[in-house]
Structure formats: C-alpha cells, structure tokens
C-alpha cells in the first residue's frame, strides 16, 4: 500500500494507464495491488466528475485504463480488462527470466519500441555467443565455472556485483532473484540431495558508494568474496572539475580497486611509507582476491540486454553443474501458502490464531494490541 500511495500521488487518473503483469492472474500480491489500483482509479474519476460511478461507466473506465500481461485470459476478463488488451507470452516463461518477453511491456512503453528492440538484440547476441562458442573459449561458461570453483573449493558464501554506473544501481538487486531463486536449493532435479554447496548470496551497490561502506570487508576481511566490477568507457553526462574529467576520476577508482584486490600491499611496502611498526599489520593487504572486470563501451539498451543474458546463462551453467532445476522455486511457494493460513488470524479469527505456533501467536498479539486502525 505504501508503494501504491507514493506512485499515484499527483497522477491524473484520466491519463493514467495501469499494466497488470501476472502470468496466471491469480498471484495474491499482484492482484491485491491491481484491485487497489482499480479502486483508486474509480474513486478519482468519480471525484472529478469524469464518470458517474455507475457499474456501466466503471466497467468502461477499467477497460480504458487497464491492460494485462498474462497467459490466463479468462481471469483477465473477470477482473474487467478487455482480453483484446492483454499481451500474452508462453506459460514456460518464469518470472525471473521474463523481462525480454511481453512482461517487459512497461519498458517498451517508457523507452519506446526501438530501444526495446535494441535491448532484445543484446540478449540475442549473448544467447548466440553462449550456444555457439566452444566451452574452452566461452566466457559465459568460464564465468559460471569460476563461480562453481569458488563456491565449492573455496567455500565462498557470497558474490559482490559492483557497477560503476549510477544507472545500474538496482542491478545487483535484480540479480538477487535471478541467481538465488534459481540455484538456492539443496535438492537436485532428480529429487536426490545435492552433493556440494550450491548458490551464492548476491549483493552489491554502485561504485564509490560501496568503497566508503563495505569494501573494507572485501579487502581485509576474513571472508573471500569474488566481485564483479562493471563499468563503461563513455558516460552520457560528461563533466569536468576544473581540468579533471570527472568520469576519468570515477574510472580511476574502478581500475584502482581491482588492482588493490589483486596485488594488495606487503608489510615492506607499508614500512617504506614510514608507518610505525605497531600498525604495519593493520595496513597490509594480502591481495589475491578474485575479481572480474566487465568493461563496456557505453551503457545502452543493447548493453543492458547483454548483461542480463550474461548472468542468466552463468546461472544456468552453475545449475547444470550442480544438477539443479534452476527454473522452479518451491521455497517461494511455502511462504505464500502459509500467508493464506495465517492472514485470517491477524485481525479476527481466534481459532486461526490458536492454530499458530507460539512465536507467531506472540507477534500477532503484538499487532492486535498496537494497531491504530
């Protein structure tokens, strides 16, 4: 509700279009948001006199202001959306692999069909490269195998993605679903237990923000954390600070961090700087910490498509080696099932409350005691 409230602030209902994206059109969270959006639209249109609130006018308004992306046209129609305004896709397309299908309709609307085509071409380029390049020269395969190598033989638990471009500030979060929902599993595709560690915790933040936050752990912590550094030669916003090209200053940090992680700093180098002996150990960097540099020419829709496809195929390589089905997500389903059981207990159903475990009961009782509405 908070997100919907913020997104609809200041919108003109007469020029607002909602795109409801749900493969089955039954997902609880998505449909709840969709109904809330429908309520907002009808209330706003009635308040400004655009419609009179009758069922007929309401139905017309919904058809004009809502479109769907779904494989279930019957449910789309039940909601009130004209099935002719529904964009379909294949039912085997999973959510975390769907941005280049009709699920990306909002991107096509915002950036235009030409840009979206470029985006798709980026995916296609990596698809073709991955499919047709011999494994020993296939960068996608090698990156996937490196992740397996560090996960299984060095027992690393996490993987940092560090884009030196503010426009990619949500890219690590995007990869979290792709990688952890796909390969965060302890059972193989044939139902047998896995025989090694699987999956990595993916995380990260952009560029120099991270340098002043968590890079300390990557440089000198006790955990080994492989890191992908992503940057681009050109920027759409070139500026200068006096005679200094600001983008080059930015890239200087990009180059410096990978060099520092690779080569570190010895005790003798620290001493040569005149450092007091008692603090020399604190200023030693072991180096030999793994990084991958992904350095593109420019951040274009094509490049973004390449990047997403790169990590999709890396995820597939890992899942194949570990014997996982990277395309199911039963861990997600359990939470949804339990939410349906628990929700009635939150506000009124004492029998449902009594059926919960002691911890859940305690949390719900705290909610009941402190709610303000």
3-state secondary structure of 62: helix
- CA pair distance 194, 150, nearest whole angstrom: 17
**Cβ neighbours for 242, distance < 8 A, ≥ 6 positions apart:** none
Catalytic residue check, 336: yes
Contact 119, 302 (CB under 8 A): yes
Give which of 372, 336, 342 is closest to 360, Cα–Cα.
Answer: 342
Q: Which of 44, 75, 159, 181 is catalytic?
A: 181
Annotated active-site residue in 6, 212, 278, 372:
212
Distance CA 10, CA 17 (A): 14
181 is an active site residue: yes
Given 7, 240, 336, 365, the catalytic residue: 336
Q: Are 231 and 164 in contact (CB under 8 A)?
A: yes
Give the separation between CA 163 and CA 230, rounded to whole angstroms: 4
- Tokens, residue 21: 């994206």
Alpha carbons 210 and 257: distance in angstroms, whole number: 11
Q: Tokens 């209330």 identify what position?
A: 43
**Hey, which residues are catalytic here?**
181, 212, 336
């Amino acid at each position: 509700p908070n997100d919907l409230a913020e997104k609809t602030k200041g919108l003109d209902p007469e020029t607002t279009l909602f795109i409801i994206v749900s493969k089955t059109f039954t997902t609880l969270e998505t449909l709840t948001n969709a109904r809330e959006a429908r309520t907002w639209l009808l209330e706003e249109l009635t308040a400004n006199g655009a419609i009179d609130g009758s069922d007929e006018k309401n139905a017309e308004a919904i058809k004009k202001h809502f479109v769907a992306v779904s494989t279930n046209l019957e449910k789309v129609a039940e909601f009130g959306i004209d099935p002719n305004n529904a964009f379909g896709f294949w039912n085997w397309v999973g959510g975390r692999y769907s941005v280049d299908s009709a699920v990306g309709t909002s991107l096509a609307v915002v950036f235009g069909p030409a840009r979206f085509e470029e985006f798709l071409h980026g995916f296609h380029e990596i698809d073709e490269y991955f499919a047709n390049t011999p494994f020993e020269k296939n960068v996608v395969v090698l990156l996937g195998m490196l992740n397996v190598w560090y996960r299984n033989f060095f027992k690393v638990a996490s993987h940092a993605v560090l884009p030196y471009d503010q426009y990619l500030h949500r890219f690590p979060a995007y990869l979290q679903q792709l990688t952890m929902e796909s390969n965060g599993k302890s059972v193989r595709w044939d139902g047998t237990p896995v025989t090694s560690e699987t999956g990595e915790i993916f995380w990260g933040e952009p560029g120099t923000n991270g340098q002043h936050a968590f890079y300390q752990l990557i440089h000198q912590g006790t955990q080994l954390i492989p890191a992908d550094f992503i940057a681009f030669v050109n920027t759409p916003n070139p500026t200068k600070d006096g005679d200094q090209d600001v983008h080059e200053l930015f890239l200087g940090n990009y180059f410096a961090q990978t060099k520092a992680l690779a080569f570190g700093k010895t005790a003798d180098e620290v001493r040569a700087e005149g450092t007091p002996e008692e603090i020399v150990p604190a200023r030693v960097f072991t180096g030999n910490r793994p990084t991958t540099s992904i350095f593109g020419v420019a951040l274009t829709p094509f490049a973004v498509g390449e990047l997403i496809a790169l990590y999709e195929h890396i995820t597939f390589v890992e899942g194949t080696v570990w014997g996982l089905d990277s395309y199911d997500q039963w861990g997600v389903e359990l939470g949804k099932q339990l939410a349906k059981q628990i929700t009635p207990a939150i506000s009124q159903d004492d029998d449902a409350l009594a059926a919960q475990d002691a911890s859940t009961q305690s949390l719900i009782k705290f909610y009941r005691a402190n709610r303000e509405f």
